[in-house]
Structure 1
Amino acid sequence: MLLIIYFIVINVIAFMVMGIDKRKARKHKWRIPESRIWLIAIIGGAIGATFGMNFFRHKTKHRSFRFFLPVLAVIDTGLLIWLKFFVS
């Protein structure tokens, strides 16, 4: 149960980070480093980051984001399913 809560929270954070960074980009303000966005995605927030990327149309011109975020989201989903059904 705790694992599911973690995945929900980290993905909401990832979604919000994409929205915040997009807003800052429009206002020409200090931005969230891409390395931080990747870190959040790698620690479980790839699904939220992918939805945020598409919802806010942010980072969609970056090939690395456009390709690797969805791949990482699939890996996260598979890992979550594996942990939920095969480990617990």
Structure 2
Amino acid sequence: MKVALLISYYVLLNIYGFYLMGADKNKAKKGKWRIKESTLWLVGFIGGAIGLTVGMNAFRHKTKHKTFVAGFPILMMVHIVLFSYFLYKMS
């Protein structure tokens, strides 16, 4: 049960991160109100870095911001290690 919750948490959060990148790109194209960078970072810190990184590359969005290009993959690696650790401890 705990493992399923952990997996669900990461999957849903990364889908949300991917969605946020796409939504922000769409808003940028239309000149509308944008998603705050602090919101993107928050989602990355709490576990959505994989979705944000994939979304950044898929939508070609924020790819000129060095902090995003370097930061999200680093967060992604940290979360992969944490996820693996928690899975190991739970099983």
TM superposition score category, shorter chain reference: over 0.9
Structure 2 counterpart of 1:71, which letter? I
What RMSD over aligned residues (CA atoms) do the two structures have, in Å? 0.4
The gaps in structure 2 that reach 5 residues or longer are none
TM-superposed CA distance for 1:28, in Å, is 0.4
Are residue 57 (structure 1) and residue 53 (structure 2) matched? no
Q: How big is each residue's C-alpha offset from its partner over 1:14-71, in whole Å with a ceiling of 9 and x where there is no partner?
A: 0000000000000000000000000001000000000000000000000000001001
Q: How does 1:19-34 map to 2 (within 5 A)?
A: 19-34=22-37
SS in structure 1 of the partner of residue 32 of structure 2: coil
Q: 2:82 aligns with which of 76, 79, 82?
A: 79
Runs of 4 or more, structure 1, over 6 Å off, are none
Structure 1 counterpart of 2:54, which letter? F
Count, aligned residues: 87
TM-score for both structures, normalised by structure 2: 0.94
Identity %: 48
Are residue 37 (structure 1) and residue 31 (structure 2) matched? no
